[in-house]
């Protein structure tokens, strides 16, 4: 069942500069992203009928969006779904178009981390695991096991980081715009063995916005809109940490979401049919998992594909051509929409030096949670209008 396919058009998008935006407030970044989208769509903000706003920890309720944009009276709902918040917000907004409830809807995702310094609320509702865990540490558990099972080492992961930094250099809004060498990546300080500094994405300030409407109204705004082909979300119960059935070498949630969305859209060979994928490289091991979970390569064979440059910008299936979370940055509430912002610009031939030719389908994947503790995997697929 896929009620979304080709029914919802994205007619305008915006994205703030990502980075340690010391001088910008959340409001500044929201205004920057939202007004780029309003201008892009040619929409008067006061004509927006409903809005969804995604943020992990940077504010509560729809008023977080209403205040800076002066949106009075319309329904605005705050969405939180971990690191996949943005795609979750987009999905709910898209369903409101599918249900014919609204004709013009705004989605904004944002995060303002760096006002908190190093300290980030890790408000687990589980006192037994309230101490002694970190996000890199949790993903490192998976990396250690994958290394053991498939005989790869840090160099394979380092190649992913090198690729994403190289790609991020080409995007003016990316957080880190500096190439790194394989040696730099391999000799960087260890954060949580076996993950080093360059295996980890930064905590970033940023906002991204999308304006959507029914497909049949899209031509009123522009000719080069894009269409949502599907959005799938799969959630895990976190049994991996207490059940021997979990191998710590994949995300079952991503595998499930991918299979479901491919079936809905009719994708048989994702590596051939998808032109460009933006995946959740919060840690390099997670981009590797995405290759295998999303069917871009067979299980356990990511290394060979990485070594042959399969996922490079000029490879058969480019992944994270804007730099990904690693280089573009990771404001949790904004990330998924940032991914779609890149796909949107690619479809419209506006990706400058990053431009991929012959765009057919674009995929965005975000994952919340950590391996073993359970995750929620979000996949959106978009196509040209």
Task: Note whether 52 and 34 are within 8 A (CB).
Answer: no
Could you tell me which residues are beta bridge partners of residue 196? Answer: 190
Binding mask 232-271 for another protein (x = CB under 8 A): -----x-x-xxxx-x-x-----------------------
Pairing label, strands 50-54, 105-111 = parallel
Find the shortest distance in angstroms from Cβ 302 to another protein. Answer: 18
Q: Which of 44, 126 has the CB closer to another protein?
A: 126
Nearer to another protein, 35 or 248 (CB): 248
Q: Map tokens 């040209």 to a residue.
A: 384
CB of 60 to another protein, least distance (A): 18
Contacts of 62 (CB under 8 A, 6+ apart): 51, 53, 75, 76, 77, 78
List the interface residues with another protein, window 89-118 (CB under 8 A): 117-118
| Integer Cα distance of 86 and 82 in angstroms | 9
Q: Report the residue number, 23 or 121, with the smaller CB distance to another protein.
A: 121
Between residues 1 and 242, which has the closer beta carbon with respect to another protein?
A: 242
- Give CA–CA dist 2/141, Å, rounded: 35
Distance of closest approach, residue 80 Cβ to another protein, in angstroms: 18
Binding residue for another protein, selected from 61, 99, 153, 193, defined by CB under 8 A: 193
Q: Which of 204, 176, 160 is nearest to 24 (CA)?
A: 204
The partner residues of 43 in beta bridges, in order of sequence, read none
Distance CA 265, CA 274 (A): 12
Cβ distance to another protein smaller for residue 132 or 172: 132
The alpha helices in 246-283, defined as continuous H runs, are: 252-265, 270-273
Residues 114 to 173 in contact with another protein, rule: CB under 8 A: 117-119, 121-122, 126-128, 130-134, 136-138, 140-145, 148
Q: Does 70 bind another protein (CB under 8 A)?
A: no
Active site residues: 83, 330
Among 65, 87, 192, 361, binds another protein (CB under 8 A): 192
Contact of 114 with 329, CB cutoff 8 Å = no
Length of the chain counted residue by residue: 385
Contact status, residue 351 vs residue 321, Cβ threshold 8 Å = yes
Q: What is the maximum alpha-carbon separation in the chain?
A: 58
Joined together, the tokens standing for residue 46 give: 């006061």
292, 229, 228: which is closest to 264 by C-alpha? 229
| Binding positions for another protein, 345-374, rule CB under 8 A | 372
What is the rounded CA–CA span in Å between residue 33 and residue 115?
A: 19
| Distance in Å, CB of 308 to another protein, minimum | 28
- Kindly tell me which residue out of 11, 37, 191, 207 binds another protein, with binding defined by CB under 8 A: 191
- With CB under 8 A as the contact rule, the residue among 60, 63, 182, 190 that binds another protein is 190
Q: Which is nearer to another protein, 351 or 376 (CB)?
A: 376
| Minimum distance from residue 276 beta carbon to another protein (Å) | 32
Binding region for another protein (CB under 8 A): 117-119, 121-122, 126-128, 130-134, 136-138, 140-145, 148, 189-195, 237, 239, 241-244, 246, 248, 372
């Amino acid at each position: 069942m896929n009620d979304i396919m080709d029914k919802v058009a994205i007619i305008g998008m915006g994205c703030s500069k990502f980075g340690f935006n010391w001088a910008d407030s959340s409001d500044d970044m929201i205004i920057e992203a939202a007004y780029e989208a309003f201008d892009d769509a040619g929409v008067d903000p006061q004509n927006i009928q409903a809005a969804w706003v995604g943020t992990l920890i940077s504010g509560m309720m729809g008023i977080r969006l209403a205040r800076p944009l002066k949106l009075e009276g319309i329904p605005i709902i705050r969405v939180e779904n971990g690191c996949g918040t943005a795609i979750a917000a987009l999905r709910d907004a898209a369903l409101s178009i599918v249900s014919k409830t609204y004709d013009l809807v705004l989605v904004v995702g944002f995060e303002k981390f760096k006002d908190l310094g190093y300290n980030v609320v890790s408000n687990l509702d589980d006192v037994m695991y309230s101490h002694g865990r970190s996000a890199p540490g949790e993903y490192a558990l998976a990396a250690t096991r994958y290394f053991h099972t498939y005989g790869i080492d840090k160099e394979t992961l380092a190649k992913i980081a090198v690729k994403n930094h190289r790609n991020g250099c080409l995007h003016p809004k990316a957080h880190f715009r500096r190439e790194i060498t394989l040696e730099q990546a391999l000799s960087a300080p260890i954060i949580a063995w076996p993950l080093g500094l360059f295996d980890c994405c930064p905590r970033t300030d940023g906002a991204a916005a999308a304006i959507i409407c029914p497909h049949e109204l899209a031509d009123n705004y522009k000719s080069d809109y894009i269409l949502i082909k599907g959005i799938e979300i799969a959630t895990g119960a976190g049994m991996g940490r207490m059940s021997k059935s979990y191998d710590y070498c994949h995300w079952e949630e991503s595998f499930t979401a991918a299979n479901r969305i491919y079936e809905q859209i009719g994708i048989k060979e994702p590596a051939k049919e998808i032109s460009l994928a933006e995946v959740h490289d919060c840690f390099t091991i997670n981009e590797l998992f995405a290759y295998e979970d999303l069917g871009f390569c067979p299980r356990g064979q990511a290394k060979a594909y990485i070594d042959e440059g399969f996922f490079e910008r000029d490879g058969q299936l480019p992944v994270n051509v804007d730099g990904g979370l690693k280089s573009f940055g990771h404001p949790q509430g904004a990330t998924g929409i940032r991914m779609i912002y890149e796909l949107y610009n690619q479809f419209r031939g506006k990706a400058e030096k990053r431009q991929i030719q012959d765009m057919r389908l674009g995929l965005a994947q975000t994952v919340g949670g950590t391996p073993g503790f359970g995750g929620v995997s979000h996949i959106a697929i978009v196509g040209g209008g």
